[in-house]
């Protein structure tokens, strides 16, 4: 990409601006919830704003409003209230960054370019490719060359693009809430630092989140060298202390555990949700797991003993619902059973049978079995898991030990405790909080917020993406750069170092952590790029650095930086005594939220509106209660209850969660934010007040009381079973056990009408060059929700806000239905992704009065937005209910950031028109053009991927040309398991599903 001219100090470009900012902000504060988009429009029209705008720019700059050119955008960004903090300063990064795959020379307008970068989350990098249109990142894909991704992503990465364009991000440096500048910040800290120099930095405390970046770690260590007395603390609410401590117990040192699921035939999960975003390596694990779940080849077996029902539990062949506190007992029993080889020696608990059978199943799979402990289980469980894996000889085969990815693998809870006591002890003069939001999410018993406010910490600096609860209590706030705006590096779960390339210059003149730290160490004008290059130059030994560097940027990671496996000997003498099985008191579980993690994504509309895997809840968290307990306590979904633990209280609405064990409830973290932004503030309730250093993940002795009030929850799937109330059952998800399948392979296809069953002469699709089709393997699908967000991002799908979701108007083109079957206390659960079925005999087309939806020659069910008048008849007549309607103006047509974010190849729909999955027709056309231009022939199979398919870590979605018998999709559709949903209606869906096969252990089948 071309060099863009360097620009002067960004904050000096628009000195006059800041005055009006206050009242503009006020106007925005007033707007709440979904309406705030509306208020944005009004504001953009308000005279004050127009005035401000004209002071900013030559008259007429605002006339760019509907000009869809890049220059239009850049001007507009200044004109936008959201960018009020700065003016049209955005441009390409100063430094050359290396395009991926496509030719780097210049930008072909209308042709996207792909750049490799990585998203760090709690220290773990997800390697990515980012699609960029004329310098605007628009879509996140997985880095298919990277072992940790293989093309897949997780929901957080998919949605991070919205995070970058979030107009609520902190847009300027502030001092005591007033706008300020980097230069004066640098001036301001000189003094205190000088003082500290004398004291050897005894008063300096740096609080970071988990950091795996070699460069940043190196910088911090260098800083600590300058100030030997200074301390570096690490804290994240969703930390892996248990893993670290467990490793110390087992091996006497912190090690990271990696799993090789592709070698595992029997997998036992001890409360580990390793198939969902947030679990380090989940993307790769999902791929490997799915590979090994092939009913037509080798099929592994998964046992899950868990408390909170998770998608991992949903995919298991056997799920044992246990209160989290009982898992340890199970683990011990399992260890005994496995080592002593005498199952009955295990236990007397009600899960004795389970233990026996599992142990019996594990024994023959020496070296091909695997025990995975959950991060929220205590160290002892991790130690036990290590012991069992060692005993089963899995080490080196299905389990690999390496150095920890975190550059500072301390016990974070303890680290924070120490910091707080130092603050209270008046030992802290200069506190730098880099990232995170401890005021909101620190354990309640530490009283971090109170310590920050009331202890006399001389200078408190907060560095982050948002003006959040913590920033409020700090003197200075330095606005951070989003990872898509900055240079950096981070380690993936396997240790490989990924280089973080910026896709766009900082929208709001943010400063990356690298730049902040170098400023602290006295170098205020070093750019992240300089720092990064300097470090790696130092690391790089011999060879041509430029070529090496270029390759690293191009591939997205540094070759050979993966950690080598370590061979360790487990010493299990030192296990703490088993917890005495305590009385039936209420257990409260804390879990990071499947959609907004620990709250850092709470202002991300896509994630807020992303239906959580099992509950399908949006915009809220809830108190998950098992059916048994609900029955005993007389609770109904949406009853508001008070949870009490050690004198602390929270209140939240109940959600009755099938499969949740009795005497145990689960609350999710990350909600109830006071200062998150328009989307996040006030959504849900805050669970952290109950969370203490003693019980970060679960605690017993809780109390639950009804308040008598109720609270509306927004779930996108009201009815979650295939059994109709009249006792019948519908074969939406066709399923069988491995035995049944082998015995009757075509079981899924019964009821499918023969093709000749019609009065009409069929349309001759065979003549066409292409006939598009899709197949979805439900055995592989783990309900990770990626496809939903990928689709939303690719196709400019609007979010609608909680109130509209409640009314049943969410817009997701692709949904993942979750069904429970059987015993509500421990149901089997199934996921079924449902995009548009692209029926050949589409019922929707027949009834459209204006021919706004019709069939293409290649078999696509096309939707012509600008012809649609909105009778909604097509949706009524769609048996799959995959059509979505713009009941109101759901799209935000004003905020410039979103204009930049949108996929320029996809129409932005307006009010009153129907929309639905198009099989990513824009990608089809693009590839057709490419194929004709490059080879003059057909699109090569596998080259064209739909957004959902590309992002799917399980490789459960295949799309392609069914006229080509050798295409992958044709092969899938030829499988016995292949069936058309509701095919009995003779709709002839082009999207078909492969029936779900489970591999239960006959021993446990009752």
Partner 1 sequence: MRLYGIMAEFDSPQGLVEAARRTHDAGYRKIDAYSPFPVEDLAEAIGFHSNRVALVTLIGAIAGGLSGYLLQYWIATISYPINVGGRPYHSWPSFIVVTFEMTILFGGIAAVFGMLALNGLPMPYHPVFNVPRFAMASKDRFFLVVFATDPKYDAAGTRQFLESLGPRSISEVPS
Partner 2 sequence: MAEQTDQAANRQAPVISPGYTFGTVTDKISSIVLTRPTSNGWFVGFGISFLLLMLLLYAAGYLFVRGIGIWGVNIPIGWGFAIVNFVWWIGIGHAGTLISAILLLLRQSWRNSINRFAEAMTLFAVACAGTFPLLHLGRPWLFYWLFPYPNTMTYWPQFRSPLVWDVFAVSTYFTISLLFWFIGLIPDLGTLRDRSENRWARITYGILAMGWRGSARHWHRYESAYLLLAGLATPLVLSVHTVVSFDFSIGIVPGWHTTIFPPYFVAGAIYSGFAMVLMLAIPIRKVYGLEDFITDRHLQNSAKVMLATGWIVAYGYAIEAFMGWYSGNSYDSFTLWNRLHGPYAPWYWSLLSCNILFPQVLWIRKFRTQPGLLFLVSAIILTGMWLERFIIVVVSLQRDFLTSSWGMYYPTRWDWATFMGTIGMFLTAMFLFVRILPMISIFEMRTLLPEAEVKAE
Sites of contact with partner 2 (CB under 8 A): 717-726, 728, 730, 732, 804, 807-809, 815, 817-819, 832, 834, 843, 846-851, 854, 867-873, 875-877, 879-881, 883-889, 911-914, 981-982, 985
Closest to partner 1 by CB, 63 vs 984, is: 984
| Interface pick for partner 1 out of 27, 692, 841, 922 (rule CB under 8 A) | 841
- Enter the DSSP assignment of 465: S
- Least Cβ distance, residue 849 to partner 2 (angstroms): 4
Taken in order 155, 160, 166, 168, the sign of the CA dihedral is: positive
Distance CA 606, CA 156 (A): 10
Any contact of residue 858 with partner 1 (CB under 8 A)?
Answer: no
Any contact of residue 16 with partner 1 (CB under 8 A)?
Answer: no
| Interface pick for partner 1 out of 245, 494, 845, 892 (rule CB under 8 A) | 845
- Least Cβ distance, residue 852 to partner 2 (angstroms): 8
- Least Cβ distance, residue 982 to partner 2 (angstroms): 6
Closest to partner 1 by CB, 118 vs 839, is: 839
Distance CA 610, CA 271 (A): 23
Phi-psi region at 271: left, alpha or beta (left = phi > 0; alpha = psi -120 to 50): left
C-beta atoms surrounding 61 within 10 Å: 17
- Least Cβ distance, residue 778 to partner 2 (angstroms): 14
| Interface pick for partner 1 out of 839, 921, 924, 952 (rule CB under 8 A) | 839
Any contact of residue 843 with partner 1 (CB under 8 A)?
Answer: yes
Q: Which does 497 bind (CB under 5 to 8 A by kind): partner 2, partner 1, none?
A: none
Closest to partner 1 by CB, 770 vs 890, is: 770
Any contact of residue 854 with partner 1 (CB under 8 A)?
Answer: yes
Q: Which does 867 bind (CB under 5 to 8 A by kind): partner 2, partner 1, none?
A: partner 2
Distance CA 772, CA 584 (A): 56
CB 545 within 8 A of CB 537: yes
Q: Which residues from 758-787 bind partner 1, rule CB under 8 A?
A: 760-763
Distance CA 622, CA 691 (A): 16
- Least Cβ distance, residue 834 to partner 1 (angstroms): 20
- Enter the DSSP assignment of 144: T
- Least Cβ distance, residue 797 to partner 1 (angstroms): 25
Q: Which does 760 bind (CB under 5 to 8 A by kind): partner 2, partner 1, none?
A: partner 1
| End-to-end Cα, the chain, rounded Å | 63
Q: Which residues from 593-652 bind partner 1, rule CB under 8 A?
A: none
Instruction: Determine the 3-state secondary structure of 61 from DSSP.
Output: helix
Tokens of 528: 């992240």
Q: Which does 875 bind (CB under 5 to 8 A by kind): partner 1, partner 2, none?
A: partner 2
**Per-residue burial over 375-389, b = 16 or more CB atoms within 10 Å of its CB, e = otherwise:** bbbbbbbbbbbbbbb
Q: Which does 839 bind (CB under 5 to 8 A by kind): partner 2, partner 1, none?
A: partner 1
Distance CA 550, CA 555 (A): 9
- Enter the DSSP assignment of 723: B
Closest to partner 1 by CB, 337 vs 836, is: 836
Distance CA 658, CA 950 (A): 32
- Least Cβ distance, residue 842 to partner 2 (angstroms): 11
What is the Cβ-side half-sphere exposure of residue 389, based on CA atoms within 13 angstroms? 32
Closest to partner 2 by CB, 96 vs 879, is: 879
Closest to partner 1 by CB, 546 vs 764, is: 764
C-beta atoms surrounding 450 within 10 Å: 14
User: Across the chain, how many H-helices and E-strands are there?
Assistant: 32, 39
HEC string for 684-721: CCCCHHHCECCECCEEEEEEEEEEEEECCCEECCCCCC
Any contact of residue 177 with partner 1 (CB under 8 A)?
Answer: no
Any contact of residue 876 with partner 1 (CB under 8 A)?
Answer: no
Tokens 């220059």 appear where?
Answer: 71
Closest to partner 2 by CB, 880 vs 898, is: 880
Distance CA 1006, CA 1002 (A): 8
Stretch that binds partner 1, among 78-86, 778-786, 845-853, 974-982 (CB under 8 A): 845-853
The site string for partner 1 over 733-762 (x = CB under 8 A, - otherwise) reads ---------------------------xxx
- Least Cβ distance, residue 792 to partner 1 (angstroms): 28
Distance CA 701, CA 760 (A): 68
| Interface pick for partner 1 out of 287, 382, 977, 988 (rule CB under 8 A) | 988
Instruction: Determine the 3-state secondary structure of 604 from DSSP.
Output: coil
Any contact of residue 426 with partner 1 (CB under 8 A)?
Answer: no
Using alpha carbons, select from 388, 783, 725 the residue that is nearest to residue 570. 388
Q: What is the CA radius of gyration of the chain?
A: 28
- Least Cβ distance, residue 757 to partner 1 (angstroms): 13
Any contact of residue 855 with partner 1 (CB under 8 A)?
Answer: yes
Q: Classify burial at 546, counting beta carbons within 10 Å of its beta carbon; exposed 0-12, middle 13-18, buried 19 or more.
A: exposed
Q: Which does 762 bind (CB under 5 to 8 A by kind): partner 2, partner 1, none?
A: partner 1
Element (H, E) at 431: strand 430-434
Stretch that binds partner 1, among 148-156, 187-195, 431-439, 836-844 (CB under 8 A): 836-844
| Interface pick for partner 1 out of 184, 187, 729, 857 (rule CB under 8 A) | 857
Q: Residue numbers of the site for partner 1 (CB under 8 A)?
A: 760-763, 839-846, 848, 851, 854-857, 988
């Amino acid at each position: 990409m071309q060099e863009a001219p360097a620009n002067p100090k960004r904050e000096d470009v628009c000195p006059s601006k800041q005055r009006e900012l206050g009242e503009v902000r006020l106007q925005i504060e007033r707007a709440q919830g979904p309406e705030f988009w509306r208020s944005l429009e009004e504001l953009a029209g308000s005279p004050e704003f127009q005035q401000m705008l004209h002071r900013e720019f030559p008259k007429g700059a605002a006339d760019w409003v509907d000009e869809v050119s890049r220059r239009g955008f850049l001007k507009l960004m200044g004109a936008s209230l959201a960018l009020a903090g700065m003016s049209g300063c955005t441009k390409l990064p100063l430094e050359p960054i290396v395009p991926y795959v496509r030719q780097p020379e210049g930008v072909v307008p209308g042709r996207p370019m792909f750049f490799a970068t990585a998203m760090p989350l709690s220290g773990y990098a997800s390697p990515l490719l980012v699609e960029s249109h004329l310098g605007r990142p628009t879509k996140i894909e997985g880095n298919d060359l990277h072992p940790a991704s293989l093309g897949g992503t997780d929901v957080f990465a998919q949605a991070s693009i919205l995070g970058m364009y979030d107009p609520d991000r902190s847009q300027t440096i502030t001092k005591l809430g007033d706008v300020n500048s980097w230069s004066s910040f640098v001036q301001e800290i000189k003094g205190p630092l000088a003082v500290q120099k004398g004291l050897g930095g005894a008063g300096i405390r740096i609080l970071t989140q988990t950091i795996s970046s070699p460069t940043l770690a190196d910088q911090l260590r260098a800083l600590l060298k300058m100030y030997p007395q200074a301390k570096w603390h690490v804290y994240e609410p969703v930390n892996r202390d248990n893993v670290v401590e467990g490793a110390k117990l087992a091996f006497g040192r912190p090690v990271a555990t990696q799993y090789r699921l592709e070698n595992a035939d029997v997998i036992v999960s001890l409360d580990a949700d390793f198939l969902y975003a947030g679990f380090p390596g989940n993307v790769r694990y999902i791929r490997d797991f799915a590979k090994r779940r092939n009913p037509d080849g080798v099929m592994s077996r998964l046992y899950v003993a868990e408390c909170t029902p998770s998608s991992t539990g949903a995919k298991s062949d056997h799920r044992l619902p246990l209160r989290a506190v009982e898992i340890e007992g199970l683990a011990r029993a399992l260890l005994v059973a496995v080592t002593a080889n005498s199952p009955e020696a295990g236990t007397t608990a009600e899960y004795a049978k389970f233990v026996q059978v599992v142990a019996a199943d594990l024994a023959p799979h020496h070296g091909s079995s695997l025990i995975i402990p959950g991060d929220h289980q205590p160290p002892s469980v991790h130690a036990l898991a290590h012991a069992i894996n060692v005993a089963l000889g899995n080490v080196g085969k299905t389990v690999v030990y390496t150095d920890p990815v975190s550059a500072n693998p301390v016990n974070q809870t303890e680290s924070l405790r120490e910091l707080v006591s130092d603050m209270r002890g008046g030992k802290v003069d200069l506190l730098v909080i880099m990232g995170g939001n401890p005021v909101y999410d620190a354990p309640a018993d530490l009283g971090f917020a109170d310590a920050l406010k009331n202890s006399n910490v001389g200078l408190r600096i907060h560095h982050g993406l948002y003006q959040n609860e913590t920033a409020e209590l700090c003197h200075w706030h330095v606005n951070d750069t989003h990872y898509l705006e900055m240079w950096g590096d981070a380690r993936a779960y396997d240790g490989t170092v990924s280089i973080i390339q910026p896709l766009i210059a900082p929208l709001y003149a943010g400063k990356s952590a690298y730049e902040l730290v170098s400023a602290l160490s006295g170098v205020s004008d070093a750019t992240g790029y300089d720092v990064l290059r300097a470090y790696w130059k130092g690391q790089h030994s011999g060879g041509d650095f430029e070529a090496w560097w270029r390759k690293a940027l191009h591939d997205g990671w540094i070759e050979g930086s993966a950690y080598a496996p370590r061979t360790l000997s487990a010493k299990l003498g030192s296990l703490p005594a088993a917890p005495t099985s305590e009385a039936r008191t209420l257990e409260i579980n804390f879990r990071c939220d499947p959609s907004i993690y620990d709250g850092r994504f709470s202002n991300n509309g896509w994630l807020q509106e992303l239906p959580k895997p099992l509950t399908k809840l949006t915009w809220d968290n809830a108190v998950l209660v098992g059916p048994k307990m609900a029955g005993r306590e007389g609770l109904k979904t949406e009853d508001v209850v008070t949870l009490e633990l050690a004198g602390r209280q929270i209140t939240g609405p109940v959600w009755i969660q099938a499969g949740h064990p009795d005497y145990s409830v689960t609350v999710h973290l990350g909600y109830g934010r006071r200062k998150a932004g328009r989307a996040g503030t006030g959504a849900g309730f805050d669970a952290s007040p109950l969370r203490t250093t003693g019980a970060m993940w679960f605690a017993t002795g809780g109390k639950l009381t009804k308040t008598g009030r109720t609270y509306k929850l927004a779930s996108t799937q009201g009815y979650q079973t295939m059994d109709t109330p009249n006792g019948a059952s519908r074969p939406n998800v066709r399923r069988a056990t491995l035995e049944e399948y082998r015995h009757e392979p075509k079981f899924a296809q019964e009821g499918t009408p023969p093709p000749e069953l019609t009065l009409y002469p069929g349309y001759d699709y065979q003549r066409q060059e292409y006939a598009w089709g899709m197949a979805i393997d439900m055995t592989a699908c783990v309900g990770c929700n990626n496809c939903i967000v990928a689709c939303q991002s690719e196709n400019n799908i609007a979010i609608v806000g909680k109130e509209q979701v409640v009314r049943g108007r969410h817009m997701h083109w692709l949904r993942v239905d979750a069904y429970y079957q059987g015993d509500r206390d421990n149901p089997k659960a199934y996921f079924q992704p449902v995009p548009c079925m692209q029926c050949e005999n589409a019922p929707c087309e027949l009834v459209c009065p204006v021919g706004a939806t019709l069939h293409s020659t290649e078999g696509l069910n096309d939707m012509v937005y600008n012809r649609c008048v909105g009778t909604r008849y097509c949706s009524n007549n769609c048996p799959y209910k995959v059509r979505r309607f713009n009941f109101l103006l759901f799209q935000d047509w004003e905020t410039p950031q979103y204009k930049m974010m949108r996929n320029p190849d996809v129409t932005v729909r307006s009010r009153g028109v129907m929309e639905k999955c198009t099989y990513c027709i824009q990608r089809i056309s693009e590839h057709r053009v490419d194929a004709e231009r490059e080879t003059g022939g057909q699109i090569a199979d596998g080259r064209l991927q739909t957004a959902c398919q590309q992002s799917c870590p399980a490789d459960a979605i295949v799309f392609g040309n069914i006229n080509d018998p050798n295409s992958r999709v044709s092969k899938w559709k030829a499988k016995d398991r292949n069936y058309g949903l509701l095919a009995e209606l003779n709709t002839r869906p082009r999207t078909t599903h492969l029936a779900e096969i489970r591999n239960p252990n006959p021993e446990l089948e009752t």
